[in-house]
Amino acid sequence: MLKLSTCEPFAKGNYRACYVHPNDPLKCIKILRSCARPDKLRRQATFFKRLRPVSWFDTNIFEHNSLSSLQKRLQGKDNAIITKTDGFVMTDLGTGHVVELCRDADI
């Protein structure tokens, strides 16, 4: 389990906070914020959307599935513009989605 609670996120959005991977500075870990937990979002949804599974409300799962699908479709082609996904990792803040960290050329 990775310890991220002592680290400062380099970016925050409405649903996720992004941390530099402590073991690999070329990767990023995206953690769902407490206000965007899938079970909480499901409870706040309209009735017919609450019939969907909790995983449908998880932004990290959606992004992982989308990136994986694109990587498979573009396999063997120039897919340098697609962020690489490395799956999920357990952290002290919850499950995190590990992706390639895109940086400026001067860093």
Q: Tokens in use for 106?
A: 């001067």
Q: Tokens in use for 49?
A: 């959307």
pLDDT category of residue 54 using cuts at 50, 70 and 90: confident
Instruction: Outline where DSSP puts E strands in the chain.
Output: 11-12, 16-20, 27-32, 85-91, 94-100
Give the mean pLDDT of 74-86. Answer: 80
Give the mean pLDDT of 78-98. Answer: 89
Give the mean pLDDT of 11-26. Answer: 93
C-alpha pair distances (Å), 22 with each of 19, 32, 62: 8, 18, 24
pLDDT category of residue 106 using cuts at 50, 70 and 90: low
Give the mean pLDDT of 18-32. Answer: 94
Q: Which residues pair with 101 in a beta bridge?
A: none
Angstrom distance (rounded) from CA 21 to CA 25 = 6
